Structure 1
Amino acid sequence: MKSTHDAPGRRERKLRQMMEHIAGTAATLFESLSYESVTMERIAEEADVAKRTLYNHFPTKEAVLAYWIDAELKRDLASLQSSIARCRTFRSRITCVLRASADWCEKHPDHLMAYLRHRLLGAGTRGPQEARSDSSDIALVWQQLIAGGQQTGEISKESPADQLATWFHHLYLGALLRWLHTPGLSLEGEFRSITKLFIEGAAAKRSSTAAH
Structure 2
Amino acid sequence: MNTPSTEVGRRARKRLQMLEHLANTAARLFESQGYESVTMEQVAEEADVAKRTLYNHFPTKEAALAYWLDAELERDLAHLQDDVAKCKTFRSRVTCVLDASADWCEKHPTYLAAYLRHRLLSVGGSGGDEGRSDGSDIALAWQHLIAAGQLAGELSKAFPADQLATWFHHLYLGALLRWLNVPGLALKKEFQAITKLFVEGAGAKVKVPRSRQ
Q: Same fold (TM over 0.5)?
A: yes
Identify the residue that residue 211 of structure 2 maps to in structure 1.
none
The structure-2 alpha-carbon separation of the partners of 1:129 and 1:150, relative to structure 1 and needing over 3 Å to count, comes to closer
How many residue pairs get aligned? The number is: 202
Identify the residue that residue 33 of structure 1 maps to in structure 2.
33
Does structure 2 conserve the Cα–Cα contact (< 8 Å) formed by 1:143 and 1:161? yes
Give how far 1:125 is off.
7.0
The one-letter amino acid paired with 2:174 is: G
The structure-2 alpha-carbon separation of the partners of 1:50 and 1:164, relative to structure 1 and needing over 3 Å to count, comes to same
TM-score between the two structures when normalised by the length of structure 1:
0.88
| Stretches of structure 2 lacking an aligned partner (at least 5 in a row) | 203-213
Give how far 1:159 is off.
2.3
Tell me the distance in 1 between the aligned counterparts of 2:170 and 2:128: 24
Identify the residue that residue 99 of structure 1 maps to in structure 2.
99
Identify the residue that residue 86 of structure 2 maps to in structure 1.
86
Tell me the distance in 2 between the aligned counterparts of 1:115 and 1:15: 22
Q: Aligned residues: percent identity?
A: 72
Tell me the distance in 2 between the aligned counterparts of 1:119 and 1:12: 23
| Stretches of structure 1 lacking an aligned partner (at least 5 in a row) | 203-212
CA distances 1:122-180 after superposition (whole Å, capped 9, x unpaired): 44678976132252121121111111111111112222222221221111111000000
Identify the residue that residue 64 of structure 2 maps to in structure 1.
64
Tell me the distance in 1 between the aligned counterparts of 2:165 and 2:178: 20
Q: How does 1:16-165 map to 2 (within 5 A)?
A: 16-123=16-123, 130-165=130-165
Does structure 1 conserve the Cα–Cα contact (< 8 Å) formed by 2:120 and 2:173? no
Does structure 1 conserve the Cα–Cα contact (< 8 Å) formed by 2:172 and 2:191? yes
The structure-2 alpha-carbon separation of the partners of 1:163 and 1:125, relative to structure 1 and needing over 3 Å to count, comes to closer
Tell me the distance in 2 between the aligned counterparts of 1:128 and 1:138: 12
The one-letter amino acid paired with 1:58 is: F
Identify the residue that residue 174 of structure 2 maps to in structure 1.
174
The structure-2 alpha-carbon separation of the partners of 1:26 and 1:87, relative to structure 1 and needing over 3 Å to count, comes to same
TM-score between the two structures when normalised by the length of structure 2:
0.88
Tell me the distance in 1 between the aligned counterparts of 2:198 and 2:128: 33
The one-letter amino acid paired with 1:80 is: L
The one-letter amino acid paired with 1:102 is: A
Residues 100-109 or 118-127, more deviating: 118-127
Give how far 1:77 is off.
1.4
Does structure 2 conserve the Cα–Cα contact (< 8 Å) formed by 1:134 and 1:140? no
Tell me the distance in 1 between the aligned counterparts of 2:149 and 2:165: 12
